[in-house]
Each structure stands twice: as C-alpha cells, then as structure tokens.
C-alpha cells in the first residue's frame, strides 16, 4: 500500500512523480507483466530509483496502488453516470463502459489480479468499491421500476465482465448485440 498521506500532504512535485510512476507502471505492467524491473518503471517515468522506492518500497505496494487506481476510476465513473443520467440510461452507459474497459484492459487487470491475493485488504477494498458503485446504479434503476428486482450490482459486474471477455475478438456490431441481449434480460 502507498505511504500514508494523511500524516503530511505531498508536495506538488512529489505528487507529480507519484502519478507518473503509477501511470508508467500501468503501461509497463500491461506490456511486460508484473515482473517488469522497477528500475525500468522509474527510468521510463523520468524519476530516479530512489524516488520510486520512497513512494513504493516494494513491488507489491506498486501493484496494489495500480490496481486500486484502475478500480477506483471505474467505480468513480459509475457514480458520475448515476449523477448525470436517468437510472436506465446510467446503467446502460455503465454496462457499455464496463465492457469496453474489460476488452481494453483485460490483460492489465489479469496481471494485477494474479499478483494480489484475493483475500488481501486491497482486493477486498476494490471488490467492495466496485460492487458498491454498481449497486448504486442497479438500486436506482430498480427504484425507477426499469430493472428486475432480483438483480444485484455483483450480478451486473459478472455480466459485464463476461460480455467483455466474450466480445474481445468480435466485431463492434457483434459486441453491441451481446450487450443488447444482456440489457434486455435486465429489464423489469
């Protein structure tokens, strides 16, 4: 886990270095796997090895941070859609975005998940955060009477993940059809 910033806020330059390291790690993990040398991450990020190790004393801490960041962005997007769109439109947009994320980021997600114990605090936190955000969309759609009452946020996550994995090598039209069938199945 990254350093505890609650004790003292990061300086602006330290924050920029931290963010560059995380962004670079995402790219290099996706390209080369979680075993990419940390010195390569530092060099590509344009920081010294000491800077990387000050922020992330272990490889596991960097991997967990990248995983939390990826899942956090995805969960935040669900909540933005909830705030901006009507319940059905928000859920539909979320499903499209989740499927796109799975298609585009499946390799990185698989690498990160393999490197994190499913019983770890990080994995549990990410699972809870993503299920909670998706649950917010599902509950709003259920309250509006547009989604089946027996569906949960976890169900929608599984459906989106499954659809993303299924359409990775399909045409966009085939992917839209798969998602359309899933969405029709969710309707009340």
44-79 burial, b if ≥16 CB within 10 A, otherwise e?
bbebeeebbeebbeebbbbbbbbbbbbbeebbebbb
118 burial level (CB within 10 Å; 0-12, 13-18, 19+): exposed
Return the domain boundaries, the chain. Answer: 1-57, 67-186
The conformation of residue 147, written as its DSSP 8-state character, comes to: B
* Helix (H) / strand (E) containing 106: helix 87-115
Which tens digits make up the pLDDT trace of 28-59?
Answer: 988 888 889 999 999 999 999 999 999 999 99
Work out the pLDDT band at 3, boundaries 50, 70, 90.
very low
Residue 5 has pLDDT above 50, yes or no: no
Residue 6 has pLDDT above 70, yes or no: no
Residue 107 has pLDDT above 90, yes or no: no
Instruction: Please say whether the beta carbons of 95 and 160 come within 8 A.
Output: yes
Work out the pLDDT band at 7, boundaries 50, 70, 90.
low
pLDDT attached to residue 104: 80
187 backbone dihedrals φ, ψ, rounded to 5°? -65, 145
Long-range contacts, stretch 58-61, CB < 8 angstroms, 24+ apart:
59/34, 60/115, 61/1, 61/2
pLDDT attached to residue 138: 98
Among 3.40.630.30, 2.60.120.920, 1.10.10.60, 3.40.109.10, name the CATH number for the domain at 1-57: 1.10.10.60
What's the whole-model pTM score? 0.81
| Separation in Å, CA 178 to CA 83, 99, 159, 160 | 26, 10, 10, 10
Instruction: Please say whether the beta carbons of 21 and 55 come within 8 A.
Output: yes
Which tens digits make up the pLDDT trace of 152-187?
Answer: 999 999 999 999 989 988 888 998 999 999 999 999
Alpha-carbon 146 to chain mean position: 26
Q: Do 67-186 and 1-57 fall under one CATH topology?
A: no
pLDDT attached to residue 128: 93
Alpha-carbon 73 to chain mean position: 6
Q: What is the CATH number of domain 67-186?
A: 1.10.357.10
* Helix (H) / strand (E) containing 140: helix 121-143
Work out the angle between the directed axes of helices 121-143 and 153-166 (0-180°, nearest 10).
100
Residue 86 has pLDDT above 90, yes or no: yes
Work out the pLDDT band at 137, boundaries 50, 70, 90.
very high
Which tens digits make up the pLDDT trace of 113-128?
Answer: 777 777 788 888 888 9
**Percent of the residues in the chain that have a pLDDT greater than 90, as a whole number:** 65
pLDDT attached to residue 45: 97
pLDDT attached to residue 113: 74
175 burial level (CB within 10 Å; 0-12, 13-18, 19+): buried
Mean pLDDT of 65-80: 93
pLDDT attached to residue 131: 95
């Amino acid at each position: 886990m990254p350093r505890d910033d609650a004790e003292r806020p990061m300086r602006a330059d330290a924050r920029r270095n931290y963010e560059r390291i995380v962004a670079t790690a995402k790219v290099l993990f996706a390209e080369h796997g979680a075993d990419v040398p940390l010195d390569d991450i530092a060099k590509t990020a344009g920081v010294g090895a000491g800077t990387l190790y000050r922020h992330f004393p272990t490889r596991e801490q960097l991997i967990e941070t990248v995983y939390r960041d990826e899942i956090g962005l995805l969960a935040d997007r669900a909540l933005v859609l909830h705030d901006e769109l009507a319940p059905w439109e928000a859920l539909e947009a979320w499903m499209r975005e989740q499927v796109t994320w799975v298609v585009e980021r499946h390799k990185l997600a698989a690498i990160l998940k393999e490197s994190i114990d499913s019983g770890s605090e990080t994995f549990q936190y990410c699972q809870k955060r993503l299920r909670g955000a998706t649950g917010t969309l599902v509950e709003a759609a259920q309250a509006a009477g547009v989604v089946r009452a027996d569906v949960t946020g976890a169900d929608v996550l599984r459906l989106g993940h499954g659809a993303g994995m299924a359409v990775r090598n399909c045409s966009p039209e085939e992917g839209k059809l798969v998602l359309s069938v899933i969405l029709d199945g969710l309707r009340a």
